[in-house]
Amino acid sequence: MPTIAAPPRWSAADIPDQTGRTAVVTGANSGLGLETTRELARHGAHVIMAVRNLDKGADAAGQIRAQIPGARLELRQLDLADLDSVRAFAAGDFPVLDLLINNAGVMMPPLTRTQQGFELQIGANHLGHFALTALLWPRLAGAPAARVVTVSSGLHKRGAIDFDDLSYTSRPYSPTGAYAQSKFANVLFGLELDRRLRAAGLPAASLLAHPGYAATNLQTSGPTGIIARLGGLGNLLFAQSAADGALPQLYAATAPEATSGQFIGPSRLGEMRGAPKVVRAIPAAEDPQVAARFWALSETLTSTPFSVGS
């Protein structure tokens, strides 16, 4: 894996001109997705805001346009917890895509099922994004140097894939365990996509990012009870801003020196906050045999073949 560190104190001001690039950002109406959309638009990109709730998306787009007159934004509906919605989104009219940021996520809710019956966190955080990337791949492959950025979490370090019971149908449900599994899945996917791109000799890039501890509604909109209360308190006392939390994925998406296979996270306090730098996943998440097995399972569960060379 590449180990060149990001430059010190990299900020949104260092984003190069994005004029002529088209990006899809999932979960673009709030938190990290909103900040990512704002900065890409500020630097000239045409951003397709993939949002579950179009009214909230319209509010977010209006906020950005008020700050950035002439921002090139487009709203489209996408529910990553429903594979039919993913297919409908991907079947829309798209130009060649230069950038896909798999940002949207859900964190530690009570046991909930997707439309297809998967546990919500593995379903929305991974399977929905896997299918979306596969279905949009022809548009990405047509770009001269497309990038796919998949947003994980430092909590992937507590995760593993339970191949026998991915969706908690027989084992006791753990909101934190399911979240860690889904973020571990994000890392498996991002690194395996990089391997397949390299093997096919393609110029596209697959990168990973995580925000550290950033103050977003993720900590309070999904969890309930004590987890939600602790998340709200942590946002007040310890978290960096959503704008700072979005810097790793913005670096991964735009920095000329960022390369396929890199994992970008914050540089200080145990990767909790600070300017972007190259970080490492846990060794288990870098296992190519586990990743290939999980890729095949993801194809089966989503009924979505994904061959990067086709």
**Burial call 254-284: b when 16+ CB within 10 Å, e when fewer:** bbeebebbbbbbbbeeebbbbbbbbbebeee
Would you state the structure tokens that stand for residue 25, as one six-digit string? Answer: 């950002």
**Residue 213 among the catalytic residues:** no
Give the SS3 label for residue 46.
Answer: strand
CB 140 within 8 A of CB 146: yes
How many Å apart are CA 138 and CA 126, to the nearest integer? 20
Name the region of 36 (left: φ>0; alpha: ψ -120 to 50; beta: rest): alpha
Catalytically annotated residue among 168, 179, 213, 251: 179
Q: Give me the phi and psi of 202, to 5 degrees please.
A: -95, 150
Number of alpha carbons in the 13 Å side-chain half-sphere of residue 213: 15
CB neighbours of residue 142 within 10 Å: 14
How many Å apart are CA 128 and CA 134, to the nearest integer? 10
Which residues is 47 bridged to in the sheet? Answer: 23, 73
Q: How does DSSP assign 145-209, residue by residue?
A: T-EEEEE--GGGGG----TT-TT-SSSPP-HHHHHHHHHHHHHHHHHHHHHHHHHHT-S-EEEEE
CB 148 within 8 A of CB 103: no
Catalytic residues: 179
